[in-house]
Amino acid sequence: MATAEIPYQETVPLHHPKTWLGKYVFSQDHKVIAVQYGITAMAVGLVALVLSWLMRIQIAFPGFLEGFGADEYLSSITMHGMIMVIYLLTAFLLGAFGNFCVPLMCGARDMVFPFVNMLSYWVYLISVLVLLVVYPLMLFTDIQATGAGWTLYPPQTITAGTPGADWGIVLMLASLAIFIVAFTMGGLNYITTILQARTRGMTLMRMPLTVWGIFIATFLGLIAFPALFVSAVMMLLDRLIGTSFFMPAIVSLGQKLEYSGGQPLLFQHLFWFFGHPEVYIVALPAFGVVSDLISVHARKNIFGYRMMVWAIVAIGILSLIVWAHHMYVAGMHPAFGFFFATTTLIIAVPTAIKVYNWTLTLWRANIKLTVPMLFALSFVLTFIMGGITGLFLGNVIIDIPLSDTYFVVAHFHMVMGVSPILAIFGGIYHWYPKLTGRMLNDTVGKIHFYFTFVGTYVIYFPMHYLGFVGVPRRYYETALGGHFPDWYPVSAHHLNIFITIAALIVGAAQMLFIYNLVHSYFKGKKASDNPWGANSLEWRTPQTPPSHGNWDERLPTVHRWAYDFGVPGHDTDHIPQDVPRKESA
Amino acid sequence: MLIAAILFMVVLGTVIFNFMSPWTFLELGSNWALIDFTVLVTFVICGVAFVILGLYMVWWVYKYRYVPGRLAEYEPENPKLEARLTIITTIGVVVMLAPGLVAWDQYVRVPPDATELEVNSEQWKWSYRLPGEDGIFGFAHNKYITFENPMGIKDGDPYAEDDIIITSQTVKIPIDRKVKVLLRSKDVLHDFWVPEIRAKMDSVPGMVTYFWFQPTLLGEFDVLCAELCGRGHHTMRGEMHVVSLDEYETWLGAQLTWAEMKAGAVPLSPQALQGRSIAESNGCFACHSLDGSRMVGPTWTNLWGSTVQMEDGTSLVVDEEYVRESIAEPDVKIREGYGPEMVAAELTDEEVAAVIDFLKSQVQEESSEQVESVE
Amino acid sequence: MTDATAPSTTESILTSTARDWSSDVTTFKGVPWGKAMMWIFLVSDTFIFTCFLVSYMTVRMTVTDPWPNPSEVFALAIPNELFGWQFLESPIPVPLLLIAIMTFVLISSSGTMAMAVNMGYQRNKKGVVLLMSATALLGFTFVAMQGYEWSKLIFEEEVAPWNNPMGAAQFGSFFFMVTGFHGLHVSAGVIYLAIIAYRVGRGHYDKTNFEIVEITGLYWHFVDLVWVFIFALFYLW
């Protein structure tokens, strides 16, 4: 192993700002950028949370909300979905965790191009503002937020029967395009840092799984987001200058439109070529974070590290060839059904391996039930539920009756809504001490955990059964004219009321978390350098919180993987990565 | 140890809920028993995997809880175990996939003896077309659509003359006869779905999509739209009645062919005609039916001059003042049982007058044209 | 690139690749950060153009309206007179003449760019500045000719992104969108080249190995390569 050379990154000059503005606002320090990403993502996530409350109240108590009509309902589902998937989950897992973890865990001073990294955040902020400016506009003008559903299927997106078909959709597409620019700037940094700027001794197969997850997810993003970009550009052209990429000849609400010959299905293919990898852009970093949390807090090495790495890689590659399983009922050529059902179910194998390995890591471990560990455990159970319901929907023929019902809603909330959120919470509880130098309050954290885990489970698990009954998703009202249709029994409506109440409680419980974040920042218990006894490099910085540049003059040297817990014949139960191997061992 | 208990409760609760739940598939009304079978196979395999994994988790979290000073077992990997688990998973996946693919093969291979039914969808209603005696549909395309030709049938196509046009939202089909459903859309994506039948497919403008089924259960089933199609999506419901062959023949005999429909169109006065085209181009007919059926908004049939109930309990007679107000400020007076969904239309006084002329033409005359009444 | 850790020639590529990927610090030995980042960016950009072109191909194959014949639409007539001097009986329409010239210009610019990179290896600042400027100039010429082609299409053939008198509207939509997007890439490249050439001239990179020239070159070659595909798919199909 060539460890003799002094890495270039050890001597690379960093931008040291003198002013407060340069230090905390236009900072090029990856940790500050991570916090900026995190706070922005959480703030926009709160907007989406409030939207979900409004929708749930409408579902359970139709007509209770004055002025919350079908238009508002549809724009709420659209904005909720888009915000949660893109502006919260993607931004948090890659923008916040990616920025914070990659340089620290790889032993780098910063990202390779800190200025581009800073730009990435500010462009992201612009995309968020462009997305949300629709709400003040709604108050003062006729502009509405788009109600096309987060999948934005044309022709509906830009025809008159949909709320926001005039300008709401333009804002949404513009915001997405800007987000993609921001993501690309950040993503190029993460990948280049991981590939080219690791410290001495840090081989790829010694990287913590968090870094692996972020690495492959970013790579997927760079391949998948172009498809969204292209479809957004084409749809903008359809909307603004009247091209017919996605628009066939149609008669919309009695008016013949000028379009002809376009293909609505082309959009769906492009969208899902982005949309499916997007699921893994969110899931893979969560996988990585959870792997690290389980290993550290169970005081045991992650079981089957190599298998875990290859599973991440395999999932990443396979995720590029399963997209049309979102389109089984879209009217595409039937032969696609065979291919995509098969690839989709194949992806279950590496995913299942990950679940087995998390579970097997618990075997003969020494499990500390800290708050991050609780979140990690709940992630595994939630993810199993989300994963197996995915086996239903991935199998083309089962998808036929279940698609576009609440089964789908329940499935994707479990697997890519709640699971990554649980991983994010676990990660925040885990890394907060390193980031701020203070511990989060344990009791508040546990209360928050139980409300969140049990609450989300009772929201989404029963929801699958509404799907079996056949309740379609995106219905403003299931009952029509005040009476329930035959297929929607009163008991199902009672279940919906129960789910709504649970959702209100779970949402309110998140305020505990925000309180904890703020309160502990000022009043929390002081954290030691390595409060969890973890091995990876971020816990080995000379200062807590790490200073700009992370390390002293010399970057750490890595001698082992990140999972040396409970090594026999050793006096402590963990050996950090930068502790040299004894020759005698 | 609270977490072990909670995890155990969650796993146990999941299983109990599954077996106690009154909510499940509606009674199967078609030949697609293989779908239900595949669901069952998947349920068993996934359920067993969930319970086993969940219980192992609970057990190990409990058993290997933290003891200060104890070291965990150091076992980075176990290739044999990992290989075994991979093989078992693969077998499980194959067992689930196999019946699914077999069923899909049947689903996309339409039997040659299936009769065709064309479902036309538009915001936010259904209509239907049958190929008539020659068994062949006349060519149709969205570009030919006019108010009198709502399905866009090509002028002069000889196959089109005997096509049976059903503008009602209700369609009847005979039991046990295989049906190939052809789906067309006038505007956006829709999805024709009868939960009891299990089958569904999107209708895509510019394309004809299809699926097939064989109804096996007599009854009246709701047709739902399962693809988001705009603000009236949730109101887009039709009915499919699976009936005996006799009843079907009677019903079919009462339907109009395309030729009869063209010949029988009731002529309208020029003012009423102008009112209709104003209403059409403002999208009124997406929410207001002309056949007495309920859509997002109230029907226009026999509306003029009738006494209607308002949401606030009052009632009024539909007159010029009310119509004018409802067009300009639809949120002021809401009909009983309807929501404040309507978007105001900006019409001139002459345009409103024309629409009122059309409303007047929709009193009584319509009843003779509409042979089929809902319910 | 030569480097101390470069594999000896006796090693198989597989072995050396495996060694690089399993080593610490860097995966691609001797590759500067900027160059690695440009490569990754180009991978991402490839997918943008792939999505555009695949969309174009699917629509082209399925659209029912007639598609204009490119060799007629993009024909350019050799004029029969210049400045009052008549040298031909009548104008000779040559199919794809303009495009052939445009392609020739762009490919030539790739040649000058390659020479500039070579000059960079030799640390010949003057040569770098000269050849990069020439590349930028050729790139600019390409964009200018594209502007002429667009105006000809818009004003003479009356093709617009939303309208095409010769048949399928998608012809205009895709043509303007894809060539426009490529033209934006070329324009950005011209600006990029000009800035880098200026900074090289000012001695901004004297302390480095002039990697920046190579990085700029990567981008430029990529833009040229994309043009080859656009050329084949839009003009020869």
Whether A333 is covered by a domain: the verdict is yes
Amino acid at A161: G
Q: Is the pLDDT of residue C8 over 70?
A: no
The per-residue pLDDT for C9 is 61
Q: Is the pLDDT of residue B370 over 50?
A: no
Higher pLDDT, A483 or B191: B191
Whether A520 is covered by a domain: the verdict is yes
Average pLDDT over chain B reads: 88
Q: Is the pLDDT of residue A4 over 70?
A: no
Find where tokens 């539909």 sit. Answer: B318
Residues of chain A with C-beta less than 8 angstroms from the C-beta of B182: none
B157, B139 Cβ separation under 8 angstroms: yes
Q: Mutation test of the interface with chain C: which of A110, A180, A181, A196, choosing the one with the most C Cβ atoms within 10 A?
A: A196
Per-residue model confidence as pLDDT tens digits over A454-471: 999 999 999 999 999 999
Find where tokens 């990616």 sit. Answer: A98
Average pLDDT over chain C reads: 88
Q: How far apart are CA C209 and CA A84, in angstroms?
A: 45
Q: In the predicted model, what is the mean pLDDT of residues A553-561?
A: 90
Chain centre to alpha carbon of residue A354 = 18
Higher pLDDT, A305 or B332: A305
> What are phi and psi for residue C221, nearest 5 degrees?
-60, -35
Read off the DSSP letter of residue B213: E
Within 8 A by CB and 6+ apart from B44, the residues are none
% chain A with pLDDT above 90? 81
Residue A583 banded pLDDT, cuts 50, 70, 90? low
Within 8 A by CB and 6+ apart from B133, the residues are B162
Residue B268 banded pLDDT, cuts 50, 70, 90? confident
Q: How far apart are CA A396 and CA A392, in angstroms?
A: 8
Question: Which range among B312-321, B351-360, C184-193 has the greatest average pLDDT?
Answer: C184-193
Q: How many CB atoms lie within 10 A of CB C13?
A: 8
A274, A263 Cβ separation under 8 angstroms: no
What's the number of CA atoms in the CB half-sphere (13 Å) around residue B337? Answer: 14
| Preceding omega of B124 cis (within 30 degrees of 0) | yes
Whether A536 is covered by a domain: the verdict is yes
Chain centre to alpha carbon of residue A196 = 26
* C28: nearest CA partner in chain A: A196
Residue B375 banded pLDDT, cuts 50, 70, 90? very low
Q: In the predicted model, what is the mean pLDDT of residues B52-72?
A: 92
Whether A235 is covered by a domain: the verdict is yes
Query: Can you give the residue range of the structural domain that contains A447?
Result: 33-247+260-540
The per-residue pLDDT for B76 is 87
Residue B47 banded pLDDT, cuts 50, 70, 90? very high
Q: What is the DSSP string of A278-308?
A: HHHHHHHHHHHHHHHHHHHHTTSPPTTHHHH
% chain A with pLDDT above 70? 98
Beta bridge partners of C160: C163
In the structure encoding, which two tokens stand for residue B147, read together?
């108010």
Judged by a CB distance cut-off of 8 A, whether residue C52 touches chain A is yes
Q: What's the sign of the alpha-carbon dihedral A313, A318, A321, A327?
A: negative
Per-residue model confidence as pLDDT tens digits over B111-136: 999 999 999 999 888 999 999 888 89
Residue C69 banded pLDDT, cuts 50, 70, 90? confident
A375, B9 Cβ separation under 8 angstroms: no
Per-residue model confidence as pLDDT tens digits over B179-237: 999 999 999 999 999 999 999 999 999 999 999 999 999 999 999 999 999 988 998 99
How far is the alpha carbon of A194 from chain C, nearest alpha carbon, in Å? 8
**Pairing between strand B209-213 and B179-185?**
antiparallel
Q: How far apart are CA B197 and CA A175, in angstroms?
A: 41
Whether A181 is covered by a domain: the verdict is yes
**Pairing between strand B315-317 and B307-309?**
antiparallel
Neighbours of chain B (3+ CB pairs under 8 A): A
- A443: domain CATH number? 1.20.210.10
Q: How far is CA B114 from CA A335, A397, B102, B111, B177, in A?
A: 21, 20, 20, 6, 7
Neighbours of chain C (3+ CB pairs under 8 A): A
Average pLDDT over chain A reads: 92
Amino acid at B129: R
Q: Is the pLDDT of residue A2 over 50?
A: no
Higher pLDDT, A261 or A45: A45
Per-residue model confidence as pLDDT tens digits over A506-526: 999 999 999 999 999 999 999
B39, B100 Cβ separation under 8 angstroms: no
CA C127, C133, C139 angle in degrees (round to 5)?
135
Helix-strand-coil split of chain C, %, nearest 5: 65, 5, 30
Per-residue model confidence as pLDDT tens digits over C78-105: 777 777 777 777 777 777 888 889 999 9
Residue B368 banded pLDDT, cuts 50, 70, 90? very low
Question: Which range has the worst mean pLDDT, A31-45, A309-323, B330-344, C158-172?
Answer: B330-344
| A243/C24 Cβ within 8 A | no
Q: How far apart are CA B342 and CA B282, in angstroms?
A: 12
Domain boundaries, chain C: 27-63+70-75+94-236
In the structure encoding, which two tokens stand for residue B50, read together?
């969930």
| A388/B89 Cβ within 8 A | no
B99, B164 Cβ separation under 8 angstroms: no
Helix intervals (H) in A141-261: 168-196, 209-240
Beta strands in A161-307 (DSSP E): 251-252, 255-256
Whether A274 is covered by a domain: the verdict is yes
Q: For chain A, how many helices (H) and strands (E)?
A: 18, 2
Read off the DSSP letter of residue A440: P
Q: Mutation test of the interface with chain B: which of A153, A253, A466, choosing the one with the most B Cβ atoms within 10 A?
A: A253
Q: For chain B, how many helices (H) and strands (E)?
A: 9, 13
Q: Is the pLDDT of residue A487 over 60?
A: yes
| A2/C23 Cβ within 8 A | yes
The per-residue pLDDT for B364 is 64
> What are phi and psi for residue B172, nearest 5 degrees?
-115, 140
Per-residue model confidence as pLDDT tens digits over A519-551: 999 999 999 999 999 999 999 999 989 998 898
In the structure encoding, which two tokens stand for residue A134, read together?
């629709």
B323, B357 Cβ separation under 8 angstroms: no
User: Nearest by CB to A196, which of C27, C47, C52?
Assistant: C27
The per-residue pLDDT for B371 is 43
Chain centre to alpha carbon of residue C49 = 12
Q: Is the pLDDT of residue C2 over 50?
A: no
User: Nearest by CB to B35, which of A248, A367, A401?
Assistant: A401
Q: Mutation test of the interface with chain C: which of A8, A230, A263, choosing the one with the most C Cβ atoms within 10 A?
A: A230
How far is the alpha carbon of A547 from chain C, nearest alpha carbon, in Å? 22
| A148/B191 Cβ within 8 A | no
Q: Is C231 exposed, middle or buried (0-12, 13-18, 19+ CB in 10 A)?
A: middle
Residues of chain A with C-beta less than 8 angstroms from the C-beta of B205: 155, 248-250, 264
Per-residue model confidence as pLDDT tens digits over A209-232: 999 999 999 999 999 999 999 999
| Preceding omega of B99 cis (within 30 degrees of 0) | no
User: What is the dotted CATH code of the domain comprising C27-63+70-75+94-236?
Assistant: 1.20.120.80
Beta bridge partners of A565: A574
ipTM of the complex, rounded to two decimals: 0.92
Q: How far apart are CA B161 and CA B132, in angstroms?
A: 8
| A241/C33 Cβ within 8 A | no
User: Nearest by CB to A261, which of C26, C58, C169?
Assistant: C169
Find where tokens 């209100």 sit. Answer: A504
* A345: nearest CA partner in chain B: B93
The per-residue pLDDT for A6 is 66
Per-residue model confidence as pLDDT tens digits over A301-359: 999 999 999 999 999 999 999 999 999 999 999 899 999 999 999 999 999 999 999 99
Q: What is the DSSP string of A344-404?
A: HHHHHHHHHHHHHHHHHHHTT--B---HHHHHHHHHHHHHHHHHHHHHHHHSHHHHHHHTT
How far apart, in Å, do the first and last CA atoms of chain A sit? 19
Question: Mind listing the domains of chain B with CATH numbers?
Answer: 2-68+75-108 (no CATH), 115-262 (2.60.40.420), 267-369 (1.10.760.10)
Within 8 A by CB and 6+ apart from C24, the residues are A1, A2, A3, A198, A199, A200, A201, A202, A203, A206, A558
In the structure encoding, which two tokens stand for residue B306, read together?
């009738």
Find where tokens 């709604």 sit. Answer: A138
Per-residue model confidence as pLDDT tens digits over C196-233: 999 999 988 888 888 899 999 999 999 999 999 999 99
The per-residue pLDDT for B356 is 87
User: Nearest by CB to B205, which of A155, A356, A378?
Assistant: A155
User: Nearest by CB to B23, which of A380, A457, A465?
Assistant: A465
In the structure encoding, which two tokens stand for residue B27, read together?
């009674």
| A469/B195 Cβ within 8 A | yes
Q: How far apart are CA A3 and CA C23, in angstroms?
A: 9
% chain C with pLDDT above 90? 52
In the structure encoding, which two tokens stand for residue A158, read together?
């830009």
**Pairing between strand C92-94 and B219-225?**
unpaired
Amino acid at A148: A
Q: Is A66 exposed, middle or buried (0-12, 13-18, 19+ CB in 10 A)?
A: exposed
How far is the alpha carbon of A55 from chain B, nearest alpha carbon, in Å? 14
Nearest to B291 by CA among B336, B337, B238: B238
Nearest to B14 by CA among A464, C214, C45: A464
Q: How far apart are CA A450 and CA B3, in angstroms?
A: 9
Nearest to A359 by CA among B78, B72, B56, B45: B56
The per-residue pLDDT for C6 is 52
Q: How far apart are CA B18 and CA A69, in angstroms?
A: 34
Q: How many residues would you count in chain B?
A: 375
Amino acid at A207: M
Q: Is A249 exposed, middle or buried (0-12, 13-18, 19+ CB in 10 A)?
A: buried
Dmax over CA atoms of chain B, in Å, equals 96
